[in-house]
Amino acid sequence: MTSSAYGAYIHIPFCVHRCGYCAFATWSDRHHLEADYLDALRVDIGRAVAAGMPQVSSIFVGGGTPSLVSPDRLAAVIASVPRHESAEITVECNPDDVSAELLDEFCRAGVNRISLGVQSTIPHVLASLDRTHDVENVQTAVDCIRSAGIRSFNLDLIYGTAGESVEEWRECLGELLSYDPPHISAYALTVEPGTPLSDQHDRHPDDDDQADKYVIADEMLSAKGLSNYEVSNWARPGHECQHNLLYWQQGNYRGFGCAAHSHENGRRWWNVRTPDRYIAMVGDGADVEAASEELDVETRAFERLELQLRLREGVPRAALNGDVLDGLVELVNDRWVLTQNGRLMANDISTRLIISPTVAQDG
């Protein structure tokens, strides 16, 4: 990450329906707000630029389902963000929504990366996740992306769903690898408080099952040339997600839209949660910030190490007593790096991180 790196996140909160595991700020009953919301985004971005927001090195449009909204209006929002010529611009898409026309609009706005919410290619697993897209449309979407000249894209997966066998997980990975993707994200299903899934204990994931599936994913993806560069992310060289690396390297970024988060030099803040309120406050010229926090030096240093630990570069030698973590970390270029087994225990290992004056200063 260069010192000039700065990101912009744009939140699109609209969905066809809400999946049972989802805890994000999304709504399925407010599509009538779409035009006003996208207009508010452009106004909010314009004010940030007028206030001195720098050119960005990456833009990530997430949600929600960004591919649901009017592509020309969304393209106009993206185009309103000042960015470097080489900026990475990613839009999350549902496979069912991807078409040549959609991608043509995106490309005109400078979009050069797509993240497809695949989650699984097994129909009953998708049903268990409350996902509704047609499995066959994944291949169609990938073909459209390549035809549009977009060279970088991600396939997003979730493993550990109730009823998903190990054989089905292998089948899913094998099918996706047949598309020769440059990037795959694979996340263990997590139970978030307040979601419908949290009340359905018979559908909660099993830790051992998820560990087995993680190992399978790492072995299959690595064998096809996708290197693990963050615990849950694999990519071919040059296709690592630069926007997410900005987060993982504790960089600065600005969030636009309801519930979007921002960070600058240890100060974090987040916007009002609902699209209705966001639209109204932007229209009134009010500050859409809902709350904030200022990280002290030690907290910021610890969080930086937590994030670095998840990356393939690891943490400085002084930040961890790796000699007592046999088989979980290895020393590479004087930095402790998680092994495959260590990645399975990343959260536990992070509790052993050591904040020394040198580490706090240099990371």
pLDDT along the chain (363 residues), means of 10: 83 93 92 98 98 98 96 97 97 97 96 97 94 92 98 98 96 98 97 89 92 98 98 98 97 98 97 98 98 96 97 97 96 97 97 78 54
Q: Find out whether 14 and 31 touch, Cβ atoms under 8 Å.
A: yes
260 alpha-carbon distance from chain centroid: 13
187 alpha-carbon distance from chain centroid: 10
Residue 17's pLDDT is 87
Residue 356's pLDDT is 74
Q: Find out whether 89 and 111 touch, Cβ atoms under 8 Å.
A: yes
- Alpha helices (H) in the chain, listed in sequence order: 34-50, 71-79, 100-108, 123-128, 136-147, 166-177, 207-223, 242-248, 275-283, 297-309, 340-344, 346-350, 357-362
Output the six-digit token pair for 291. Answer: 């709350």
Residue 3's pLDDT is 58
Q: How many CA atoms lie within 13 A of 86 on its CB side?
A: 3
Query: Which are the contacts of 359, defined by CB distance < 8 A and separation ≥ 6?
Result: 301, 305, 315, 316, 318, 319
Residue 362's pLDDT is 55
Q: What pLDDT digit, counting tens, does each position of 21-51 carry?
A: 988 999 999 999 999 999 999 999 999 999 9
Tally Cβ neighbours within 10 Å of residue 291: 9
What is the end-to-end Cα distance of the chain in Å, rounded? 13
Distances (CA, A) of 327 to 330, 333, 348: 7, 17, 14
Residue type, 131: R
Q: What angle do CA 328, 331, 335 make, to 5 degrees?
A: 110
Tokens 């990280």 found at = 295
Q: What pLDDT digit, counting tens, does each position of 79-101 carry?
A: 999 999 999 999 999 999 999 99
**Which one-letter DSSP state was computed for residue 250?**
T
Tokens 């595991």 found at = 21
List, as one string, the DSSP characters of 280-322. Answer: HHHHTT---EEEEEE--HHHHHHHHHHHHHTBTT-EEGGG--G
Considering only CA atoms, which of 277, 264, 246 is closest in space to residue 25?
Answer: 277
Residue 283's pLDDT is 98
CB burial of residue 73 (10 Å; 0-12, 13-18, 19+): middle
What residue ranges do the domains of the chain occupy? Answer: 6-247, 299-362
Distances (CA, A) of 243 to 46, 221, 236, 240: 21, 22, 16, 9
**Which one-letter DSSP state was computed for residue 55?**
P
Q: What is the CATH T-level fold of the domain 6-247, as seen in this structure? A: TIM Barrel (3.20.20)
The span from the CA of 5 to the CA of 54, in Å, is 9
Distances (CA, A) of 350 to 214, 238, 273, 329, 355: 19, 28, 30, 12, 11
Q: How many CA atoms lie within 13 A of 57 on its CB side?
A: 16
Output the six-digit token pair for 169. Answer: 């997980």
Q: In what order do the strands lie in the sheet with 329-332?
A: 315-316, 335-338, 329-332
The span from the CA of 256 to the CA of 347, in Å, is 29
Residue 118's pLDDT is 97
Residue 358's pLDDT is 60
Beta strands at 252-256 and 6-12: parallel, antiparallel or unpaired:
parallel
Q: What pLDDT digit, counting tens, does each position of 125-139 carry?
A: 999 999 888 899 999
